[in-house]
A and B are shown apart, each in its own frame.
Chain A
């Protein structure tokens, strides 16, 4: 463990740590563009120069490992002048189109110019012109003039996805990023190049021109797209809803978690939040009666559910929970089933086709909480429930979230099962052919509208937080179930998701000892599970 001194502060770092990371540990930021901790060292941008004692001229920090006794200065006049020079070089051919650039507000050229540049521009000649608004693939747009050729995107495609679509073509100040002939940026992680692009060269085709980044609010969350549980930030546009025609979730960005997804996430997860603001959202409790739809108050809706449950013996009642539900919801459902003596409870529904999986982040199981449902013992056979329904032995059926018509089962089998029950109750954020057939359809908050936790495939319990208010009258599933429980006379004191989590931790051994505090921002393992190796770039 070499011990070195940076700006007069001593620090000991693991062998091999470079000076940017060593300084970061001391809270000292060494400005840089091409360096990214998840990629190889390129040493191209030349911005991360520092002075090292006994070294004749400034040295790049990214390619310099800390050594014992090294004395580093990041704020000498020489270093400051060098940074100013490098900033000028970066900007002489950069178009000053910040007013129409999506990166404005989170652009490292803007940030570092203000911190380290602030020179008077001297470039009076024509700038180099390059292609603009070039689609590289379904998600990424290139503006080659804005590019500072840091090569992060090229290295990402070479080293992380190993798909190698991008290269740098031509030479000198005519160098530009581009696709190799015949290639398109269609790898399943392409959106990450937008995240790592420090400037406005690569922008997100989904996000561009929607909203200015300074109107966005950020909330820590977990991707609900598969069992991996990638940590994400949800960026929402509450303050300028008219900028994006009412679309509230502006974009999703990966959030660093060393043990789960590091800096990355897949495109499927990144662009999979559309259901949150989709027209299919359920916004009011409704009763469907012989083709007639009536809006209900929550009180009326809960009373109707309790009435149906009261009319049906427990052995003729079944629940199809969902692996998309949070642990808190699932434990509320478990509590309801146990209070009512309902034994037919399942959650596992076959997907229409097997999910894609790779050896990096993407899991075949497209549900965020299969593991949580398993740990709570909710894994009854759903196909058996449907058979029992068809045979009129299940008369009240509660379905959470699933569209049973969009599964690996035959539509006709599902239809005859659902038509056979006396009362079909649907709870979920989005309507579907299943909710259309439900006698009672109750609107649940989407995951970004509420608190909760998911348990990833490896047993990591991770928190997501509310980024938005619920649409319409929607409330969290745990609350819907809690109201049903209370209306049946069960003592329910839980008024927050966290209360349900406490009950879960007390009631299910795998969750024993876990609290929202101990889960924190990066998750905690359920009992008896060990974290697996962090997601590595494909070696």
Chain B
């Protein structure tokens, strides 16, 4: 079991308060960072191999370096706390139990990218995280950490999954419908309100104080070769003790399930979704995979948001796919055609299959439609939907065929 970094205070009483945060070493990284040049902070984060922990896994330092050097207007730091990926709830824990870590990380990140204003976009359903975080922001203002060249605006979403896509989030933040934007331009060049904007996940930014305090080399050493640090795995489904587990991303999926008390229900593993609902499913025999970005990619799936959903062998995969398909049909923003039209279509087919009215050609139609739509859309939402569409059917085709006898 690796050292707890981000979750070190989760068990501490009143861990969300400034008092406890300070007592456990909080805001010491900030003091250090304020003595360093922005470029030095950026360099430290680059060397730490910190990668975005919201889903895409993009190297954080590299993202920060995309801010135009000669920009004279404002630069915004936007925190994506619209944690909506099914099976993922780590940011909720961080916001509720260690909100000051995010604030400290934001102030340091803002210094690196020369931003004077940060936005925290919190998922609408996250009422308690929002309460805890806004209280922490007030404390930080009172204590003088905020308001001294860096301010934070807390913005609540209205419950749309697509607003977790960074440009959808920006549209929503700007007061518009949460539609992802056509890229280019990318947010680092032209983001919120037309200004260069860095959008980072909560957990990603929570890592930053630790990198400053303990050094890039230490942080990089915690992880795998291409990804530094630990990860907060949200483990749910048929496990004995579901919850958030902070582990090195060098852990295997098998070990992680064991950490969560092993498979519950029938006790016999059927399948695992390793990185939130958009990650292609792994069958029981595939769980010796290393849980970092590259390990999961090599296994044909993705680390995503590290939301691990465990299925025991009583779970019907067609039914699970129908639920997932309903989610994507419901949450598709409707902006661009392939996603808008085919998420609904595929859900209808899945629903019909589960009802026992499947046709023999339905499975091939779903696979073909999914493959044709993949990569043709404005944002990654549809590619995320395609992950389950294809993998569930390809890996468990027999189960589907049994329902498609017409």
A positions within 8 Å CB-CB of B: 41-47, 49, 57-58, 60, 63, 81-82, 85-86, 88-90, 92-93, 122-126, 128, 148-149, 167-168, 170-175
- By a CB distance below 8 angstroms, the chain A residues around B373 are 85, 89
- B338 near A172 with CB under 8 A, answer no
Residue of B nearest to A62 (CB): B182
Contact among B333, B341, B378 with A89 in the assembled complex (CB-CB below 8 Å): B341
Contact among A47, A63, A90, A167 with B341 in the assembled complex (CB-CB below 8 Å): A90
- By a CB distance below 8 angstroms, the chain A residues around B376 are 46, 49, 58, 82, 85-86
Residue of B nearest to A89 (CB): B341
Residue of B nearest to A81 (CB): B372
In angstroms, Cα B343 to Cα A220, docked, is 45
- A90 near B344 with CB under 8 A, answer no
- With an 8 A cutoff between CB atoms, is B375 at the interface? yes
- B375 near A173 with CB under 8 A, answer no
A122-B361, A124-B359, A173-B345 given; 16 more Cβ-contact pairs under 8 Å: A46-B338, A63-B184, A85-B376, A89-B340, A89-B373, A90-B337, A122-B365, A123-B345, A149-B334, A149-B337, A168-B334, A171-B332, A172-B329, A172-B332, A172-B334, A172-B340
Q: Knowing A92-B341, A126-B348, A175-B340, say if A44 contacts B378 (CB, 8 Å).
A: yes
Residue of B nearest to A172 (CB): B332
Residue of A nearest to B376 (CB): A46
B positions within 8 Å CB-CB of A: 160, 162, 177, 182, 184, 329-338, 340-345, 348-349, 352, 359, 361, 365, 369, 372-373, 375-378
Residue of A nearest to B345 (CB): A92
Residue of A nearest to B351 (CB): A125
Contact among B182, B335, B344 with A63 in the assembled complex (CB-CB below 8 Å): B182
- By a CB distance below 8 angstroms, the chain A residues around B348 are 125-126
- By a CB distance below 8 angstroms, the chain A residues around B365 are 122
In angstroms, Cα B336 to Cα A170, docked, is 14
- B341 near A125 with CB under 8 A, answer no
**What are 23 residue pairs bridging A and B, where the CB atoms are less than 8 Å apart in the complex?**
A42-B182, A44-B337, A46-B378, A63-B184, A85-B338, A85-B376, A88-B372, A89-B337, A92-B341, A122-B365, A122-B369, A125-B345, A125-B349, A148-B337, A167-B177, A171-B331, A171-B333, A172-B329, A172-B330, A172-B332, A173-B343, A173-B345, A174-B344
Contact among B333, B334, B336 with A45 in the assembled complex (CB-CB below 8 Å): B336
Contact among A46, A58, A86, A168 with B177 in the assembled complex (CB-CB below 8 Å): A168
- B160 near A171 with CB under 8 A, answer yes
- By a CB distance below 8 angstroms, the chain B residues around A63 are 182, 184
- By a CB distance below 8 angstroms, the chain B residues around A86 are 337-338, 376
- A41 near B340 with CB under 8 A, answer no
Give the 10 A-B residue pairs with the shortest CB-CB distance, closest first: A175-B334, A43-B182, A173-B344, A85-B372, A172-B332, A125-B348, A89-B341, A44-B336, A171-B334, A172-B334
- A172 near B160 with CB under 8 A, answer no
In angstroms, Cα B340 to Cα A45, docked, is 10
Interface centre among A81, A171, A174 (most CB of B within 10 A): A171
In angstroms, Cα B369 to Cα A41, docked, is 26
- B341 near A93 with CB under 8 A, answer yes
- By a CB distance below 8 angstroms, the chain B residues around A171 are 160, 162, 330-334
Contact among B184, B330, B340, B375 with A149 in the assembled complex (CB-CB below 8 Å): B340
- By a CB distance below 8 angstroms, the chain B residues around A90 are 337, 341
- By a CB distance below 8 angstroms, the chain A residues around B349 are 125
- By a CB distance below 8 angstroms, the chain B residues around A122 are 361, 365, 369
In angstroms, Cα B183 to Cα A60, docked, is 10
> In the complex, what's the smallest C-beta–C-beta distance from A159 to chain B, in angstroms?
14
- A174 near B336 with CB under 8 A, answer no
> In the complex, what's the smallest C-beta–C-beta distance from A376 to chain B, in angstroms?
52
> In the complex, what's the smallest C-beta–C-beta distance from B12 to chain A, in angstroms?
41
